Amino acid sequence: MEKMVILGGAKLSGEVEISGAKNSAVAILAASILVKGKCIIDNVPHVSDIDVLLDIIQGLGGSAYFIDKGTVEIDCTNLNKYEADYETVRRIRASSYLMGALLGRFSRARVGMPGGCDFGVRPIDQHIKGFKTLGAEVEVDHGFVDLRADKLVGDSVYLDVVSVGATINIMLAATMAEGLTVIESAAKEPHIVDVANFLNCMGANIKGAGTDVIKIRGVKELHGGEFSVIPDQIEAGTFMIAAAATHGDVTITNIIPKHMESLSAKLEEMGVIVEEYDDAIRIHMDDRNLKSANVKTQPYPGFPTDLQPQILTLLTVAKGTSLVTENVWDNRFKYVDELNRMGAKVSVDGRVAAVEGCEHLQGSPVYATDLRAGAALVIAGLMAKGVTEIYNLKYIDRGYENLELKLKSLGAQIARRTVDDNKSNAV
Ligand code: EPU
């Protein structure tokens, strides 16, 4: 087992390049299952969720490998199975996309219930509603979702809940269905647009991605091609917050500033200087106190739930009291106990956390409870006094490429150690 050791207090400064979006890349790799032909996908972050998905696709008979840094070659022409390995599927949330992709390819899919971070209940009723609307019979038994259809036929699906996963999954199943599928009340996250762009590049006919009505006219087949994944909005946001948290001066490159608007506005409200360029943002914070602010998570273009733990962490040292409301997930405040262990003053009542700003956090051993909570604890460690040790790094490794190397290049005092290396916590 490994731990991350951080000596807090260093102001981050310099330039950092953001990797491709993990949540987009996992959906695009799954979408490649629909393609008969070779796809070259660039800007793929090398994180463990991607490795798991590549393993699953290989297990289904496809060929899927990194051929260079950030580049995956994937060819599913000879994919010959519609049942994915149960244990592997349970390791990542994105395996839910196998349902839509395999159903679209074979009119048949048998996939274990997807795993992923634990934020309370993670239902898939909207995915199932979509598949049924397209003509599939769906049975859920013994941890498997079994889907079969004589043929898929387009129709209108109205989502009762704005769901990223259901929107993408229905899009995948509908790409080669007969006729027109209309998804109403669709999610609008940047990676939904990215998946639609990928499918269109390979010959699909999808219009309206990025709005709440997406129209998919089924095509007979998709062909191979090349595509580059968009930059990771959440990794970019994590670095923006880390820069502000250390009163640093950091330019974050390879990003789409438009995707960052809700965070940029919130940081400015807290007194942080945010300068936007074409494909970069500079974050600058002097030695003044941060101001408190209220944050409510919402589907895009609202404030992303995947940056909620990181912004809450920043608010622990802002002057005054802030309220953070989690509107997307039932239970995404598990990490708060860890922050309080570091001296934060956060109390949670249902979906609302009240954050009373304190002078500073104090370094301590803490445990990541999920991917973004892990990133939040790294930010807490960077701004705390003394040494913070973070355990459960497997969560962070699911979604951040070279996090500590990138932070180190900005001047952070951070290192990874094996846990039985007790000689020192020196960084
Ligand atoms: N929901 C339903 N029924 C469904 C599907 C979702 O009620 O059939 C509810 C969920 O319970 C939740 C809300 O709808 O309350 C939103 O869930 P959504 O389906 O949008 O989430 P997801 O597709 O499972 C993706 C990201 C998450 C991110 C959410 C919200 C991936 C692989 N995961 O999850 O990312 O939090 O969208 O933006 O894209 C992360 O990267 O750390 C992460 C957890």
Note the pLDDT tens digit of each residue in 238-273. 999 999 999 999 999 999 999 999 999 999 999 999
Residue 427 lies in a domain: no
Q: What is the pLDDT of residue 115?
A: 66
The one-letter code for the residue type at 287 is: D
What is the pLDDT confidence band of residue 63, given thresholds at 50, 70 and 90? Answer: very high
Per residue in 4-60, pLDDT tens? 999 999 999 999 999 999 999 999 999 999 999 999 999 999 999 999 999 999 999
The parent domain of residue 142 ranges over: 22-224
Q: Which residues line ligand 1 (CB under 6 A)?
A: 23, 26, 93-94, 117, 122-127, 161, 163-166, 187, 234, 305-306, 328-329, 371-372, 399
- Angle at alpha carbon of residue 285, lines to 283 and 290, rounded to 5°: 120
Q: What's phi and psi for 197, nearest 5 deg?
A: -60, -40
Question: Do 219 and 240 reside in the same domain of the chain?
Answer: no
Q: Can you tell me the distance from the alpha carbon of 84 to that of 98, in angstroms, rounded to the nearest whole number?
A: 8
Question: Do 132 and 195 reside in the same domain of the chain?
Answer: yes
Q: Which atom of ligand 1 is nearest to the CA of 23?
A: 39
Residue 424 lies in a domain: no
Strand order in the sheet with 352-356: 295-296, 321-325, 352-356, 345-349
Question: Do 158 and 241 reside in the same domain of the chain?
Answer: no
Which residues are annotated as catalytic? 117
Strand order in the sheet with 205-207: 156-158, 180-184, 213-217, 205-207
Q: What is the pLDDT of residue 119?
A: 66
Question: Do 82 and 106 reside in the same domain of the chain?
Answer: yes
Per residue in 172-219, pLDDT tens? 999 999 999 999 999 999 999 999 999 999 999 999 999 999 999 999
Residue nearest to atom 5 of ligand 1 (CA): 124
Tally of structural domains, the chain: 2
Per 3-state DSSP, the chain is made up of helix, strand and coil in percentages (nearest 5) of: 35, 30, 40
- Determine which of 90-94, 112-116, 211-215, 226-230 has the lowest per-residue pLDDT on average: 112-116
Question: Do 307 and 211 reside in the same domain of the chain?
Answer: no
